[in-house]
Amino acid sequence: MEIVLFVLIGMIIAVVLYGIMIYNNLVRLKHGVSKAWSNIDILLKQRHDELPKLVETCKQYMKFEQETLEKVMLARAAVFKAREKGDVGAVGAAESELRIGLGNLFAVAENYPDLKANDSFLHLQSRITGLENTIADRREFYNESVNNSNVRIEQFPDVIIAGMFHFKSAELLEFSGAEKQDVNMGALFS
């Protein structure tokens, strides 16, 4: 009888320790997703701060391209609003519009040799392009963190602990298919 009691107590302790281990891993994954999002958010803010400088530089040269400049600034505002809300889906949609607008802006800039030779424009273009590349890298890391967390939350026996402690799935940061398409150069210059 004593041996059965010790075995039972040992099994209960093992189950509790295993549950604690699962819980701690889920917490680590949840905070990994938050950290990955924070890294993206910092870069989005940096780019947000650089875009008005780029638009102002372009305004001096691109007198007839106000619509292109306005689209960039409207998309910038939409990204900011979505970031402030913490709405990952809205950030993805707004980012798609902003990336299209920036692609169009840089393509239209090709038609203005004085602008392309301007040191301020070249610096801002390089800085924003660098931020875009870093955002893409961080987005990949964020989505991997989200995927790892979401898989663990749905796997057995983790799903039991996740349900007990109300762990929620995180949303992937996805950009629309339009963002991935090439810029229509003919439409820009017609």
Q: How far apart are CA 169 and CA 14, in angstroms?
A: 27
39 pLDDT band (50/70/90 cuts)? very high
Contacts of 174 (CB under 8 A, 6+ apart): 89, 92, 143
Tell me: pLDDT of 97 over 50: yes
Share of the chain above pLDDT 90, in %: 55
CB burial of residue 144 (10 Å; 0-12, 13-18, 19+) = middle
Q: Does domain 2-188 have CATH number 1.20.1440.20?
A: yes
Q: Examine the pLDDT at 110 and tell me if it is beyond 90.
A: no
Tokens of 187: 């439409």
| pLDDT number for residue 64 | 67
Give the residue among 35, 18, 19, 16 at the shortest CA–CA distance from 148: 35
The structural domains of the chain, with segments of one domain joined by +, span 2-188
Q: 154-170 pLDDT, tens per residue?
A: 999 999 999 999 999 99
**How far apart are the C-alpha atoms of 17 and 20, rounded to whole Å?**
5
CB distance 158 to 26 below 8 Å: yes
Q: What pLDDT is stored for residue 179 in this prediction?
A: 46
Res. 71 pLDDT band, cuts 50 70 90: confident
Most confident of 106-120, 151-165, 175-189: 151-165
Cβ-based burial of 142 (10 A; exposed 0-12, middle 13-18, buried ≥19): buried
5 pLDDT above the threshold of 80? yes
For residue 177, what pLDDT band results from cuts at 50, 70 and 90? Answer: low
